[in-house]
Amino acid sequence: MAFEFDADAMFKSCALYLSKGLLLVRVHGIWPDGRCTCGRKEHAVGRSGERNCGKHPVGDDWASRVATTEDDIVEWLEDGIPFNVGCLLGPRGGVIDSEDDDEAARRYRKSIGMDLLETPTWLSGKSTHQLTLWDDRLSGCKGTANPGGLEVRIGAGNTSIQSVLPPSWHRSGVQYQWKPGFSLNDIEIARTPRSLLVALSNGAGSESSRPDEKPASSMLFGEIPDGHRHRAILRWSWFKIVNQLNPLNKTNQDITMREILLLNEQNCKPKADENHVRKIVSDCYDHYRKKKESGWVPSQADAESDAAEKEIDRIESSPEGSSKPAPGSGLELYGLKKITVGKIEAYEPGEWRIEMIHSDPPEIILCVPAWEATPCRGRIHMSFDTFRSAPKTAAAVFNATRTYILDGDAGKWQRTWKGQDASKATDHQSIPGLMELLMQKKREEDDIAVGTSSLRYAQLAGYVLQVFKKATQPRDEEKPEPNESGRPCWVTPDELWFQWGRVWEDIGRSHDVQAGERNRVRAKLLEAMGQRDFSHKRHRFQSGRLEFVVFTRDWVSALESLSAGEELDWTVKGGVDGGSTKTKNHSPSTVHDGEVVVA
């Protein structure tokens, strides 16, 4: 039932938050009929003050009465009045909260790399919240800010601000909940990313290396007169690029280019020529890329005003600017090297390379540094058949990166990957494709020898173990039962119940899995255990009877062996161990009969 207050669940959650160092705030709850416990008539679902329902703290001096011990929470529970719980933000609370509640804010979050940030994350209504650590560089900010539409609750400037946490109730009737695998019990609170810190400070730095110049962020506000446009655009472009998590990401480049073109339209009087603006941004990207190729590793110091202004001066004085391609002009944005043969544009591997896995079946890994921030971490696995096909390779890249489309111009990509025959346009020279050039570039020492198995099997087994690591235990130990959701649960100390398909659904949210790969892992496990099929059992819930795969610890050990590559010459790095946790099963049924299914 909506707005049902579970005192036990609330106490346990608060105890966890306190153990992580949060300062907790008692927030007015919501009665079952939709009224806020503050008692104000307008603070109720369906009334004019609905937005305040269940969101404002109890008492005017709430910031001075935060909970710091479990005894404080017990005291809150004594009056029997439902409540929500929040955490204090700002320098005293030690954390800030970033919330997106529309598509624009979500796009902005992605543009600065926060969609990939591993930090406690929860859902409230239609919004996603991320908790990150307070940074003293935010001291000059206000209580809240909205860069790119993202609402950031900072709590600076002597303001008292809190954010409501799970398991509180939202006025929509939906309970706040942690994103799976991203609760305070799962991961540590991350530092606030540099890209967000810069945005909250309205650009990188508040000073300039030239006495007569305003901060780079001045391009965001007011008019940029003729005579100042070029350098204003140049400075803001570099500050944007050097403060992004992954500036060479194609999506980030597109967003940055679009933003600067819009600023030129709105704030430059008169506006600069669009091609000139694109050229300036291109110079900045080219300078950044060359610095990276020379071995430079970006750091916080590079975002400081003095260091950034020196780089801007170097870009401005560079003699090579006139010949640089604009962002978006070709595949060189992904690290390929563009060449010209006769009148035809072609590409060489540049930063791309391949590794070959000598396995059964053999595999190829396409390695692209520019895609390291994607789910595949810049490593696209493919079969020989896929590698020999331009369309299949493009499909594999899109499936793995979930971002990059290489065959938007299918004909151009076919020629780029497979090569072109000699013709008048190529000065009668044949042009080898990337497929051939990558094979020529491949070094034998990069190849991976894995006998009759595959490194890919080990990776996939590791993914399964990562899911098993989060297995729950039954809430009722006297009448144990599996998770109705199909997620792993140690129903007994020696029996792990789960649904095979659900495990792979969870894996698919974070990793690219090709068709048939789950079946190959299954076949490897069956071979290792000498079985023809998994052991299956059924359990009846109120919603009906569900079938589960049941693993003993021997099966988990076999999976660990597959992940670690035992008796082989390679291993997979990373903490992927199995076992049970103390997490409770929050979706129990009320019927407890199990039936063994005879295979």
pLDDT over threshold 80, residue 290 = yes
Co-location of 380 and 513 in the same domain: no
Residue type present at position 241? I
Name the domain boundary from 427, 449, 471: 449
**pLDDT on residue 545:** 83
Polymer length in residues for the chain: 599
Rounded to an integer, the average pLDDT of 247-270 is 87
Listed residue (128, 136, 89, 131) closest to 110, CA to CA: 128
**pLDDT on residue 227:** 63
Co-location of 345 and 435 in the same domain: yes
pLDDT over threshold 90, residue 428 = no
pLDDT over threshold 90, residue 498 = yes
Co-location of 299 and 338 in the same domain: no
**pLDDT on residue 213:** 53
pLDDT over threshold 50, residue 203 = no
**pLDDT on residue 291:** 86
pLDDT over threshold 90, residue 390 = yes
**pLDDT on residue 436:** 94
Tens-digit pLDDT profile for residues 58-83:
987 898 899 999 999 999 999 899 99
Which of 178-192, 202-216, 225-239 has the largest mean confidence? 178-192
Co-location of 208 and 307 in the same domain: yes
Rounded to an integer, the average pLDDT of 434-447 is 86
Confidence class of residue 388 from pLDDT cuts 50, 70 and 90? very high
User: Is the residue at 1 inside a domain?
Assistant: no
User: Is the residue at 165 inside a domain?
Assistant: yes
User: Is the residue at 393 inside a domain?
Assistant: yes
Confidence class of residue 208 from pLDDT cuts 50, 70 and 90? very low
Residue 442 near residue 354, CB atoms below 8 Å: yes
Euclidean distance between CA atoms 44 and 31, whole angstroms: 9
DSSP secondary structure letters along 72-126 = HHHHHHTT---EEEEEE-BTTTTEEEEEE-SHHHHHHHHHTTGGG--S-EEEETT
Co-location of 316 and 389 in the same domain: no
**pLDDT on residue 120:** 95
Tens-digit pLDDT profile for residues 106-151:
888 888 889 889 999 999 877 899 999 998 888 878 888 888 778 8
Co-location of 399 and 428 in the same domain: yes
User: Is the residue at 261 inside a domain?
Assistant: yes
User: Is the residue at 132 inside a domain?
Assistant: yes
pLDDT over threshold 90, residue 217 = no
Euclidean distance between CA atoms 215 and 329, whole angstroms: 30
DSSP secondary structure letters along 40-57 = -TTSBTTSTTGGGTTTSB
User: Is the residue at 2 inside a domain?
Assistant: no
User: Is the residue at 570 inside a domain?
Assistant: yes
Confidence class of residue 510 from pLDDT cuts 50, 70 and 90? confident
Residue 427 near residue 341, CB atoms below 8 Å: yes
Residue type present at position 515? A
**pLDDT on residue 576:** 30
**pLDDT on residue 595:** 39
Residue 382 near residue 392, CB atoms below 8 Å: yes
**pLDDT on residue 584:** 40
Domain with 411 in it: 331-449
* Domain count across the chain: 4
Co-location of 110 and 191 in the same domain: yes
Please state, for a pLDDT cut of 70, what percent of the chain lies above it.
Answer: 84
Name the domain boundary from 173, 199, 225: 199
Tens-digit pLDDT profile for residues 443-465:
877 776 654 345 678 888 888 99
**pLDDT on residue 139:** 83
Co-location of 109 and 185 in the same domain: yes
Name the domain boundary from 417, 449, 481: 449
Residues contacting residue 46 through CB under 8 Å, at least 6 positions apart: 34
pLDDT over threshold 80, residue 202 = no
User: Is the residue at 436 inside a domain?
Assistant: yes
Please state, for a pLDDT cut of 90, what percent of the chain lies above it.
Answer: 32
Listed residue (103, 104, 99) closest to 86, CA to CA: 99
Residue 124 near residue 164, CB atoms below 8 Å: yes
Co-location of 239 and 172 in the same domain: no
pLDDT over threshold 80, residue 507 = yes
Q: What is the rounded (10 degree) CA torsion for 7, 9, 14, 19?
A: 140
pLDDT over threshold 90, residue 9 = yes
**pLDDT on residue 449:** 62
Rounded to an integer, the average pLDDT of 382-392 is 91
**pLDDT on residue 567:** 45
Co-location of 94 and 219 in the same domain: no
Residues contacting residue 389 through CB under 8 Å, at least 6 positions apart: none
Rounded to an integer, the average pLDDT of 498-507 is 90
Q: What is the rounded (10 degree) CA torsion for 437, 438, 444, 449?
A: -140
Co-location of 21 and 158 in the same domain: yes
Q: Could you give the 3-state DSSP secondary structure of residue 443? A: coil
Co-location of 442 and 536 in the same domain: no
Mean pLDDT score of the chain: 81
